[in-house]
Structures are given as C-alpha cells and as structure tokens.
C-alpha cells in the first residue's frame, strides 16, 4: 500500500502530539514525515521533504498558515486546515470548497478529510486553483473574489460581482447570476450571510433572500418596500431589515 507523505504544521506541541497519535493509530495509509511549529520551519521542510499532504494550523505566531501558502507560486501539496473557531477564516475556507478541522480534532472528521485528500492526490486533481481562490478571497481589497460551487463532477468558480441574489431553500441555496444561470449549493442562507458579513455589497433582505446591492435597479419608499433587481426580479424587504438595507443602498 502506497502511503501518503504528510507534514504536520502547528505551533502548539500538544495539538501536534494528538494529531500524530491519531494518524499513527488509525490511519496506516498516512506516513508523517515530520512536524513544524511555525511557517519558516514548515517552508524548509516542504522544500526538503516534498509532502503530498499538509495539516496546516491557521493561527500561528508571526505568520499564519495562509502566509505559508502565499510563499508558493503553485501549491504542490494537498492542504487540510486546522483551526480553533475563527468565523472569518472558516467561512472563507468553506466557500473555497476546501477542508478544515476544528480543534479538538474529531476522529470521524479526520478520516473524511484524509479520504478526500487521498482521492485528490490519486486522481491528480490538485486543489491549487481552490487555494489560489481562497487567498484572493482573504484579500479584503481584491475585486476578484469568487465562491466555489460543486456542480456535478466539477467545481465552478462564481464571481461575486456576477451574483444577483441568493435564495434559501432549507439546507440548500439557489445562486442566481447576471447571465441567468442558477446554481444549487449545499449551504444554507445563514452560511452566506456570515460569509458576506464583511462586505457592503450583499445584504439579507428577508427570511429567504440575500441580494447583491450592485444589481439593484430601483426601490419604493412607501410600505411595503419593494426592491427591483436588474434582471427584473422584485423582492419585498422585510420591515425588520428595511433600515439596514436602505442605509447600505445610500452608501
């Protein structure tokens, strides 16, 4: 059996020990080449040992796991992020279709992440495009932000600029684009609301809809407040959301 060459990068010795113990005990298909406690050590070990998979802590002193990835023109390994709860980072990772594990690491989650990484390595469908997209999404000044949506056997990158609105449908959402295409994703509307929280362009207007304010054509000042989008679709803004929506529109 071919074993997957792996590196553990985490500034906490205890976390590295726990992960190493789980890998050695339950996952014989994984060969741990070494450990690193910061970005500098990790970069050196990646250069010298060429791992196929890196378990990468996000929050580390002086430089983050994301800073490590930025050192590579093309990331030559699969990545599974490890993090304590960090809402902003987790949202960016989720919407880039990449894997992450929350500390303390659960055995089932670890197994699923390893299985996906091995599939990706064996099928040579490297995640470099997903990682590039993640790094762009983390750049607050970038105008090239895209969300990754699974579409059949492929991952489609949808430009945020092209999204007109997102409609919630239970555990799923329908994303409507300027060209009329609609994509279904297994994320709920709260996921999108959290992801777009730091932007001024997207706002939740009711229980079921988030709209892109860039594509608002007009709105009525009277009650009920009706907003019309550039594709002809109209929505009623809930009373609870009206002040927030109109304030964002003015800005």
Query: For residue range 88-130, what is the model confidence (pLDDT) as tens digits?
Result: 888 889 899 899 999 999 999 999 999 999 998 988 776 778 8
CB atoms within 10 A of CB 15: 18
For residue 151, which phi and psi values (nearest 5 degrees)? -130, 100
Q: Is residue 152 predicted with pLDDT exceeding 70?
A: yes
**Under the phi-then-psi rule, with left for phi > 0, alpha for psi from -120 to 50, and beta for the rest, what region is 61?**
beta
What are the pLDDT digits (tens) for 20-56?
999 999 999 999 999 999 999 999 999 999 999 999 9
| Record: fold of 158-250 | OB fold (Dihydrolipoamide Acetyltransferase, E2P) (2.40.50)
DSSP state at residue 180: S
Position 141 confidence tier, pLDDT thresholds 50, 70, 90: low
Contacts of 2 (CB under 8 A, 6+ apart): none
CATH superfamily of 4-137: Response regulator (3.40.50.2300)
Helix (H, G, I), strand (E, B) or coil at 186: coil
Q: Chain-wide mean pLDDT for the chain?
A: 92
Query: What pLDDT does 126 receive?
Result: 64
- Whether the CA torsion 231, 234, 238, 242 is positive or negative: it is positive
Domain definitions of the chain by residue range: 4-137, 158-250
Position 80 confidence tier, pLDDT thresholds 50, 70, 90: very high
Query: What pLDDT does 137 receive?
Result: 84
Please indicate whether the domains covering 4-137 and 158-250 agree at the CATH topology level.
Answer: no
Q: In this structure, are residues 131 and 75 in contact, taking their beta carbons and an 8 Å threshold?
A: yes
Distance CA 165, CA 173 (A): 10
What are the pLDDT digits (tens) for 156-183?
999 999 999 999 999 999 999 999 999 9
233, burial (CB in 10 Å: exposed 0-12, middle 13-18, buried 19+): middle
Query: What pLDDT does 213 receive?
Result: 96
Query: What pLDDT does 85 receive?
Result: 74
Within the chain, where are the H helices?
13-26, 39-49, 65-70, 87-94, 107-122, 128-138, 189-195, 239-250
- How far lies 24's CA from each of 18, 45, 158, 181, in Å? 10, 20, 39, 46
């Amino acid at each position: 059996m071919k074993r997957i060459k792996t590196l553990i990068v985490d500034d906490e010795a205890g976390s590295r020990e726990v992960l190493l113990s789980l890998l050695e005990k339950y996952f014989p298909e994984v060969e741990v080449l070494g450990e690193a406690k910061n970005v500098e050590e990790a970069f050196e070990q990646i250069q010298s040992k060429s791992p196929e998979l890196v378990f990468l802590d996000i929050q580390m002193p002086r430089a983050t796991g994301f800073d490590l990835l930025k050192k590579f023109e093309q990331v030559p390994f699969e990545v599974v992020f490890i993090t304590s709860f960090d809402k902003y980072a987790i949202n960016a990772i989720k919407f880039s279709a990449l894997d992450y594990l929350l500390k303390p690491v659960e055995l089932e989650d670890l197994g699923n992440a390893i299985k996906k990484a091995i599939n990706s390595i064996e099928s040579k469908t490297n995640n470099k495009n997903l990682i590039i997209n993640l790094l762009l999404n983390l750049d607050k000044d970038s105008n090239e932000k895209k969300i990754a949506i699974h579409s059949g056997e492929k991952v489609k990158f949808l430009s945020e600029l092209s999204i007109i609105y997102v409609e919630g449908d239970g555990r799923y959402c329908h994303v409507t684009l300027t060209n009329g295409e609609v994509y279904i994703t297994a994320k709920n509307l709260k996921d999108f609301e959290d992801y777009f929280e730091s932007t001024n362009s997207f706002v939740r207007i009711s229980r079921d809809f988030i709209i892109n304010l860039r594509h608002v054509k007009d709105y009525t000042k009277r009650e009920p407040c009706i907003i019309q989008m550039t594709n002809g679709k109209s929505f009623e803004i809930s009373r609870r959301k009206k002040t927030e929506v109109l304030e964002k529109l003015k800005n």
